[in-house]
Structure 1
């Protein structure tokens, strides 16, 4: 049930017929894992806490640096030197003390990651490196949990949803394979702050759609964002039946393909 305070707090959300009280209850009863509390994880955590997600697992082994503050809006100047998890928890508790926050302050190894993913309903990958994304994807495929994945660098960004509960859904590995040996990070190539804010906000939106059960999630579609020209492009993505990560789960599926929508 929702308390009178919750009905008031989430009233603008509940007014939406796609959400209503039933959807808000689903959000309240849900648990999510946010991997990374940087540029993407900041708006993700802020919006999901504000929306009333019942339990949020926060994973980040890093501490707040002065260079983070240009885009990682969950942290502030007084947080410099603090654990990003502790900094985020302070801010999120101030926004919504009704949300249960579960900290993970050290890097998640394969076993720990698998255990945490098994506990939650949905995972949001807000990390900034390929190896973490691959590990998170594998854990989600193995546990059958939906994954909302975002990435941004320089003035370009990508967003997609991978849902192993759906027979037609690709996984992250179907799309990106083994990645690139010349992978760059934001600390090397730079990034504009509002772009990660945009992508993180869209990740939070996709998560709420999945948790509350409304709308058309970005499954089988890759959203490409060109911030320089303010252009959005969508690619259709099919699952690879030979994928080394998810292929064994649905052996009768179509071959991998990319088609511009």
Structure 2
């Protein structure tokens, strides 16, 4: 059982005084394991707020290197990180921020052959990658492993964050949402289309909020997890709306009402 030192109690005092979190919720977060797939525009702010929330264990997954153009939106990196691996640089940021967080690194490109191993043991996966092949590989691995998934994407002034639990009966997986047509590296990129840096921050921090909501389901403070809800964020209109993703009974992965 996790115990808090006086310093940790002070660090998370603003959480603990919230009735929706409290001491039990903070202990739950401290014992949680989140796998972050992609440490870019979404993963960077998500990592900052998950670490700030006191998540006890983080697996950081990204095979890329930091580039100068990343600094406009990928908030954990600095000029000294250019040319270094994102996973290693993210761990360095974490070590400076909170040395008590347990960290595991994976700097291999995720595909259908290694995704299950990469997320092994996680209580929740947060995917902020930028191509459908990786997203679908991660989703399929989550269904097979019985791990809930938050999938987030952003481009230009629009973003989306969806919560999927395809391993549970009657719940949709990410493949139910997008289908089987995108098993390829065929996404548009922010290099082609552009992206407002603050938009990535909004999506990443909202994804972190949803992650905390899912993890706190054990204590009930933030209500039921929003399975099957896809939130659409519009930066130009300064608005958000939600839609429900129904399970696809012919889904190529979860495939039935029983998951």
TM-score, length of structure 1 as denominator length: 0.91
Q: Counterpart of 2:27?
A: 25
SS of residue in 1 equivalent to 2:36: strand
Q: Contact 2:159 / 2:203 at 8 angstroms: preserved in 1?
A: yes
CA contact (8 A) 1:225 1:231 kept: yes
Distance 1:125 1:76 in 2: 23
Query: Is 1:250 aligned to 2:252, yes or no?
Result: no
TM-score of the two chains, using structure 2 as the length reference: 0.92
Look up the match of 1:210. 214
- Cα shift readout 1:214-251 (whole Å, capped 9, x = no counterpart): 33433221111121121212112211111111114627
1:90 is matched with 92
- Give the distance between the partners of 1:215 and 1:92, measured in 2 at CA: 29
Alignment of 1:87-236 (within 5 A): 87-179=89-181, 183-213=187-217, 214-236=222-244
Map of 2:48 onto structure 1: 46
CA distance in 1, matches of 2:171, 2:19: 27
Q: Structure 2 CA distance, aligned partners of 1:227 and 1:172?
A: 23
Structure 1 residue 57: Cα displacement:
0.4
State the SS of the aligned residue for 2:46.
helix
**RMSD (Å) for aligned C-alpha atoms:** 1.6
Task: Tell me the alpha carbon deviations over residues 193-215 of structure 1, each in whole angstroms, 9 at most, x when there is no partner.
Answer: 11110011011111111112233
Q: 1:26 to 1:165 in 2, by over 3 A?
A: farther
Name structure 2 gaps, 5 residues minimum.
none
Q: Which runs of 5+ in 1 are unaligned?
A: 252-261
Residues matched between the structures, number: 251
- Counterpart-to-counterpart distance in 2, 1:131 and 1:249: 25
Q: Partner of 1:255 in structure 2?
A: none
